[in-house]
Amino acid sequence: MEQHNTPYLQSALLCEGVTTDANGRHNIYNEFSQYTMGYSQQFTLLTIWRGADSDSSEEEYKEKTEIIAPDGRVVASGENGPFALKDSTYRQVNSILLEDVDFTHDGTYDVRISLFNANNSIVSTHGFPLIVV
């Protein structure tokens, strides 16, 4: 089993929307990995962070998400936080509504998710491609 010395991204999912019911269950609408170009609309990025295997006390974190077009332009961004992940038993589920995402040009977009500590230093950065055709 892999050891995690810092909080880590367990999951990231790009979809059209997320709702949460009174019992804390998340309903995910229209998850996708490819999108047809031609117009802009809102999207939601759902992320799940897990705490480190060691006690990280009360340190707070902030998440920043960016979608970067093939030409390097940031076409959407958002932030969540602060939140705490005391140890490996803690989980943080975030959703960021990204409005008017400009997918009007085909190519490979980069979805970049970064976790910052209270000093605004990067704890981790993750990215995945999103192909727009």
26 within domain boundaries = yes
> Looking at the 3D structure of the chain, how many domains does it have?
1
Using a pLDDT cut of 70, give the percent of the chain over it: 89
Q: What is the residue range of 29's domain?
A: 8-132
Angle at 67 between CA 48 and CA 15, to 5 degrees: 50
- The stretch 17-46 carries a mean pLDDT of 78
Give the separation between CA 19 and CA 28, rounded to whole angstroms: 7
Instruction: Check residue 40 and give its pLDDT.
Output: 64
Whether the predicted pLDDT of 114 surpasses 80: yes
Output the six-digit token pair for 49: 């962070």
What is the pTM (predicted TM-score) of this model? 0.84
2 occurs within a structural domain: no
CATH of the domain at 42: 2.60.40.10
